[in-house]
Amino acid sequence: MAEHHVGLRWTLETQPFAYETYNRSHDLIFKNGAEIVRASAAPAYKGDAAMPDPEDLLVAALSSCHMLSFLAIAARKKLAVQSYADEAVGMVEKNDAGKLWIARVILRPQVAFAAPVDAATLAEIHHLAHESCFIANSVKTAVSVEPR
């Protein structure tokens, strides 16, 4: 149906090439070079804490997908959304085999509507958004939504 292409470029910036010293910073290239994001490894893996890491990007993708699904559903229901904010968090844990993975992601969206929306309708839209988010449908990470 659709393909999504992302470029990745990394070049050694430090000598020698050794686990303790090689640079983890790299560029992610989106939309044929129109958007470049400088990323790194997580600080626990000698990355630059000021840059997004793959774990951050996975959490961001889940949060963004949920929001976009939510907005589409709200628009179809003729419920005008004024703002949407999320403070998502992903938890890295060890699985049963002792391997690290992002086991859980909690989305904490806060939505403001132009007119009041009851709690049941809000919960229904979040449920539908979660069900239709193809990023959430693509991962085995447990994704929960805790609206604020």
For each successive 10 residues of the chain (148 residues), what is the average pLDDT? 90 92 94 90 95 96 97 97 97 95 97 96 97 96 93
pLDDT at residue 32, as a whole number: 81
The CA distance from 100 to 6, in Å, is: 24
SS3 21: coil
DSSP state of 63: H
Q: What is the pLDDT of residue 40?
A: 97
8 A C-beta contact, residue 113 and residue 79: yes
pTM of the model: 0.92
Q: Minimal CA–CA distance to 21: which of 3, 46, 38? A: 46
Strands (E), the chain: 7-9, 26-30, 35-39, 81-86, 89-94, 100-107, 109-113, 142-145
Structure tokens at 14: 């430090």
